[in-house]
Amino acid sequence: MNASTPNDPNAVIECQNLGRNFTIGRGLFAEKKTLRAVQDVNLKVQRGEVLAVVGESGCGKTTLAKMLLGLLPPSTGDIYFEGEPLQNVDRHSIARRVQPVFQDPYSSLNPRKTLASIIALPLNVHNVGTSEERKKRVEEIMEMVGLPRRLLYSYPSQLSGGQRQRVAIARALVMKPEVLICDEPTSALDVSVQAQILNLLQDLRKELNLTYVFISHNLAVVEHMADQLAVMYLGRLIEYGASSEVFANPRHPYTKMLLNSVLTPDPSLGLPGSASDGDFPNPLDPPSGCVFHPRCAECMPQCMTTLPGILQDDKGLVECHLYTETAANAA
């Protein structure tokens, strides 16, 4: 594999061996530590697809999203956008073609601005069209996301949570991007509103042929939306494949644990995404061997000392000794 070329030039986004480290100082005289927030991630997204990235808080999914948006340079590896190394693509071009939708519509919208000026902001920044054309585009996009025109000069504080997230989506779409990076776009909303926003995102994707990278801690949220599913744990991509396949036949014990916590009606097993089998480890002091071993119901002696290899087959990718052993035995 040549690290300077994409494996799949048709993919809208491709990550090769992507990693991001942070140096963390812990007090004046304490030794600095390296936090490996994302490690060796390989994945790709085709046009019109939804790639869901799931995992608990601290697994590296938001760091991954920031790298895909060009907001954070990778420490290792490469990102390709439509076959071009991301660092070679003009920043304005990335900002036009890849847009974020963030988790919290309360803090991501300026409370002192009207909807008209919030949604028009990207058009103003990129100097697109006359003021009349911008107003027309804002009205068009408001209609598309289900915001009545009478709200044009309202302020965010006058809107419901669902309406605010519709404003955030309108602002993301006003420049006609190709890709949306949605970072937990429904987790700050009431359950009843979440479904409306997910349906809206689905409809917009079909209508505008958008590509989504959809970040969530909750597998239930992405089940009906994702074409590809990437499961992250402590910065590592531990399972990846077609969403239908991973949901039907999860292989990694962590994916099974996440799915159990979503699908069970037993409240003692915890909220979706807050798996109950032990605590999430300290990312600054990760466990030896397989980083999931302290919480794994299928842990074997080698798991405590040796990082598992990766099995990549027609079902996708899994990083676990259960499968690399099987592969070795079968060979």
Q: Examine residue 77 and tell whether it contacts ligand SF4 (CB under 6 A).
A: no
* In the complex, least distance from residue 316 CB atom to ligand SF4, rounded to whole angstroms: 15
Q: Examine residue 235 and tell whether it contacts ligand SF4 (CB under 6 A).
A: no
Q: Examine residue 299 and tell whether it contacts ligand SF4 (CB under 6 A).
A: yes
Q: What string of DSSP letters covers 162-210? A: HHHHHHHHHHHHTT--SEEEEESTTTTS-HHHHHHHHHHHHHHHHHHT-
Cα 71 to Cα 102: distance, rounded to the nearest angstrom: 14
SS3 150: helix
Q: Examine residue 308 and tell whether it contacts ligand SF4 (CB under 6 A).
A: yes
H or E element that contains 321: helix 321-330
DSSP annotation of 307: -
Cα 327 to Cα 116: distance, rounded to the nearest angstrom: 57
* In the complex, least distance from residue 303 CB atom to ligand SF4, rounded to whole angstroms: 3
Nearer to ligand SF4 among residue 196 and residue 302 (C-beta): 302
Which of 60, 122, 253, 283 touches ligand SF4 by CB under 6 A?
Answer: 253
Q: Examine residue 303 and tell whether it contacts ligand SF4 (CB under 6 A).
A: yes
Q: Examine residue 292 and tell whether it contacts ligand SF4 (CB under 6 A).
A: yes
* In the complex, least distance from residue 177 CB atom to ligand SF4, rounded to whole angstroms: 37
Nearer to ligand SF4 among residue 44 and residue 252 (C-beta): 252
Tokens of 295: 């919480």
H or E element that contains 37: strand 33-45
Q: Examine residue 141 and tell whether it contacts ligand SF4 (CB under 6 A).
A: no
The site for ligand SF4 (CB under 6 A) is made up of 252-253, 290, 292-293, 296, 298-300, 303, 308, 320-322
